[in-house]
Amino acid sequence: MNTQTLEKMKKMKFYGMFRLFKTSLESNRQENCTPDEMIAQLIEAEWDERQNRNIELKIKNARFRYKASLENMLYSTDRNIDKNSMMRFSDCSFIDKNEVILITGCTGIGKSYIASAIGHHACSLGYRVSYFNVPKLFAKLKMAKADGSYIKEIAKIERQQLLILDDFGMNPLDAQNRSALMEIIEDRHGKGATIITSQVPVLMWHDVIGEKTIADAVLDRIVHNAHRLELTGESMRKRQTSELKNILN
């Protein structure tokens, strides 16, 4: 009967229950449990299994650039970032409030890692997150315009509770990219949280966007009440390379 029960658990995809019940049979643990205790343990195991699968799926769908975590971040004053300032975001209340985080600094300073770490943490709390490299996103949206899937792609972005736009401002925007950016920002204003990283200081974003009316509209929605992380110091990649050379020498 136990073999049949295990098979049925697998077929119904009750993998948490399956593993716990199988382990308890092998170790005779069920003999030490009352029926209600065993049921509670099986339900708890299945609940944890499904929660973990849900988090893994959210992380997979987000397509982060880095596998990052807030716990593994390097906090230091010379980077103009401390643990307390980052922990403000760990409860993800900024997502509930549909707020914006702007992360700027030189190349290699850790902007993408920080954005990815916040995004991973948001996934672990059950939020829907999408990560995009901005130049690749605009190229994708141009292709979507051509094949008729643009509205579908924009709607998918709008549904995300947290949108991460990485490497904004690498190139000045053309008319089509400006229009796409305006649509994304307008859709999210007051409805979803956004993280934007850029090597370009915020003061220069107006020139990156280009057309004055659209630039004013976009910046009005993302800059004035945003959380700002302005990273300083040398490139982390350069520092790590230098440290590795010193070790090898």
> Mean pLDDT of all residues in the chain?
88
The span from the CA of 206 to the CA of 218, in Å, is: 9
Say yes or no to pLDDT of 72 above 80.
yes
Q: What pLDDT shows up at residue 59?
A: 94
Share of the chain above pLDDT 90, in %: 56
Q: At what angle do helices 134-147 and 150-159 cross, to 10 degrees?
A: 140
- For position 98, what pLDDT does the model report? 96
Comparing 121 with 46, the larger pLDDT belongs to 121
Output 70 or 134, whichever has higher pLDDT: 134
Confidence of residue 9 (pLDDT cuts 50, 70, 90): confident
| Mean pLDDT value of segment 80-97 | 88
In the structure, what pLDDT confidence band is assigned to residue 248 with cuts at 50, 70 and 90?
Answer: very low
Mean pLDDT, residues 101-123 taken together:
93
| The predicted structure's pLDDT at residue 46 | 87
Pairwise CA distance, residues 55 & 70, whole Å: 16
Give the per-residue pLDDT at 133: 96
SS3 readout for the chain:
CHHHHHHHHHHCCCHHHHHHHHHHHHHCHHHHCCHHHHHHHHHHHHHHHHHHHHHHHHHHHHCCCCCCCCCCCCCEHHHCECHHHHHCCCCCHHHHCCCEEEEECCCCCCHHHHHHHHHHHHHHCCCCEEEEEHHHHHHHHHHHHHHCCHHHHHHHHHHCCEEEEECCCCCCCCHHHHHHHHHHHHHHCCCCEEEEEECCCHHHHHHHHCCHHHHHHHHHHHCCCCEEEECCCCCHHHHHHHHHHHHHC
Question: Is the confidence at residue 238, as pLDDT, over 70?
Answer: no
- Whether 33 shows a pLDDT value over 80: the answer reads no
Domain annotation for the chain: domains and CATH numbers = 2-61 (no CATH), 65-241 (3.40.50.300)
So what's the pLDDT on residue 30?
62
Task: Specify which residues 70 forms β-bridges with.
Answer: none
Output the pLDDT for position 162. 98
Show the tokens assigned to 224: 């004035």
- For 125-180, the pLDDT digits (tens) are 999 999 999 999 999 999 999 999 999 999 999 999 999 999 999 989 999 999 99
